[in-house]
Structure 1
């Protein structure tokens, strides 16, 4: 098997899709499976890797961390002709994905797609809902030529089926590095030494993009609406960067710490040293940070929507709230902050459940699915 992969984001960019694809290519290398990856230039200089071809790019309007490549068709065709892929995997519906689709059609190569982002939901947050019908028409046209479309969660599958995007949709979940995101990374002095937070404070943690589609305002409103005694006992730590970072971080009080972007090794320690994870986003197709928090032994307060609803076991590893319902988020956040015994019970359950999510098992299933597609295509051709 030789796989050509097209994406609009990849390491060292820090987002769920980029990190998933990095785990994916690492697994392919471990299995001795050849691949070529076609992606935009990174926002920072990166070493050249033979399997990865990068192209000039510009930031994507709705998601600056995602970049739109300006493909070089001659260079891509030459590379693909030399590589002779047996399967094309397209993880973006934009420029690079379009070229991969064109090449696969012309050469009769089996093609699959993976769907990662609800761009229609993003349009709501950026007041561009008039584009939603066009987006779905385009997505239906773009995906109709693929043998199969892979999605990260059951709710995403149901949504695409309801939009008639494709009839052959399969779950391709996500995993987590259990030794990396682990309660053993806990530090009792981290917050005091690094952020000057008094060591008797409970830590309420958010990790993610600081952007409208993450419902970041719910994090702040939930904290501000906590009962006064809990607010005094709790410090809110917000990790991440994004378009709202400067505006929001300049307006908040002394009991809220904004760390900005954080490297993964620092982040794993931060997860393990916190008390509770708050993640109200209802736009997720999966929710990688939620799985990282659970693996670190953190109970999670999340939205009962999108991919998060499939990760948090209500009243076992945390609580699921009605999307954008501040009262619901305050009620459940207060309940866990106020009950250390319940937090500990949920913490142990979170770690145990997260251990069931294995990258190796997930990629093994994916490649088995690829093999069936290639085999079926060969039988039809014969």
Structure 2
């Protein structure tokens, strides 16, 4: 029988202490760390204390939310913009002990994430892991597909030592169940800022400045320019349109180490570089179709942003977009890597303005369901559930 004596743990967000571990909290901007920073901001507004443990750099991509404590790290060879966390140093462990968190949140299955899980398990603290990307799929883009089962096994060991997971979509949650990563999985979806992403910020003048005529259909790519985003599939699919004489333009929004490769592959494309805030919203709304062939995302922030702008999406039928796009209603879902089918789906949108408008409107309607506050409260509720479960075990 459970002892009814009250236990000294918070029962709501106010007073909750969260230790968050991230491999990239703010030194390179991406969808995952944008979501983590939004979560920290939400928790702090509601009275929680959050301490973030992650690599620090001299010139981060953006200011961090919450107190950021640097962990030892080194630049990854060949991808120097990213850092590899090394260890929980004595200094970091002292800081953790002094902070005395109620719950530990790990967001990357790296070395420091593993050490944080061990630290929390030793103290019988609840551990939540958030899943932000399909790391195991990255290796297939670098001719190392043989490593995928090994990485998946290592990830399984990591996630099964956690008390629960949060995934950004039900489709990703099902992948995790199928991979036997864990079976206590809640959904931490993603939201969209409607002030930035909406059809009203479409700008014909901006298009003209980049050489796109008012009557031309612009197919957009949005994201970091790295091979694992499916740049090869994107360019091969665009070749399908060119071979069939389908008039179109390509807008590429983003920067990354594969930019030169992508620019050489698509010499007629318009590369507008990194865009942020209102500039990003304008760029997305000024597209006519978003093409997202990536299979590595667990949610698909870019897909949701395009939908909020009333833009139909052609995407890989994979985790993330699969939970957002209603096939043949708000866009098209195509088998990953199916270049000819991607090309045909794009052709239909390029040649049918009414279809673009109808599917774009359906996507915008769907995007209205994604409120950041409601989404982040779901994570807070999971923290509190795990704290309550651990506390009940302690008072038995």
Compute the TM-score of the two structures, normalised by the length of structure 1: 0.92
Mapped partners of 2:64, 2:391: distance in 1: 35
TM-fit CA distance, 1:260: 2.7
Which residue of 313, 332, 346 maps to 2:345? Answer: 332
Counterpart of 1:39 in structure 2 is: 54
Which residue of 147, 161, 172 maps to 1:156? Answer: 172
- Aligned ranges 1:268-287 → 2 under 5 Å: 268-287=281-300
Counterpart of 1:25 in structure 2 is: 40
Query: How many pairs align?
Result: 379
Counterpart of 2:224 in structure 1 is: 209
Q: Deviations over 1:151-204 (max 9, x none)?
A: 1222322222222222222222111112221112111200212x2333332211
Mapped partners of 1:323, 1:218: distance in 2: 9
* 1:94 maps to 2:115: no
Mapped partners of 2:149, 2:375: distance in 1: 33
Mapped partners of 1:228, 1:259: distance in 2: 25
* 1:355 maps to 2:368: yes
Q: Deviations over 1:39-60 (max 9, x none)?
A: 1124724668761112343344
5+ unaligned residues in a row in structure 2: which ranges? Answer: 1-15
Compute the TM-score of the two structures, normalised by the length of structure 2: 0.89
Counterpart of 1:172 in structure 2 is: 188
TM-fit CA distance, 1:91: 0.6
Mapped partners of 2:81, 2:168: distance in 1: 20
* 1:146 maps to 2:159: no
- Which deviates further from its counterpart, 289-298 or 4-13? 4-13
* 1:199 maps to 2:214: yes
TM-fit CA distance, 1:130: 3.0
TM-fit CA distance, 1:262: 2.4
Mapped partners of 2:245, 2:34: distance in 1: 35
5+ unaligned residues in a row in structure 1: which ranges? Answer: none
Higher relative contact order (CA 8 A, sep 6+): 2
Mapped partners of 1:290, 1:158: distance in 2: 20
SS at match of 2:241: coil
CA contact (8 A) 1:223 1:231 kept: no
Going from structure 1 to structure 2, the CA distance change for 1:102 and 1:228 (only over 3 Å counts) comes to closer
CA contact (8 A) 2:235 2:265 kept: no
Question: What is the RMSD of the two structures over their aligned residues, measured on CA atoms?
Answer: 2.1
Q: Deviations over 1:270-318 (max 9, x none)?
A: 1111111111112221111111111111110111122111111111111
Going from structure 1 to structure 2, the CA distance change for 1:131 and 1:222 (only over 3 Å counts) comes to closer
TM-fit CA distance, 1:99: 2.6
SS at match of 2:204: coil
Which residue of 241, 246, 251 maps to 1:237? Answer: 251
- Aligned ranges 1:73-88 → 2 under 5 Å: 73-88=89-104
* 1:317 maps to 2:333: no
CA contact (8 A) 2:88 2:116 kept: no
CA contact (8 A) 1:73 1:99 kept: no
Mapped partners of 1:301, 1:262: distance in 2: 21
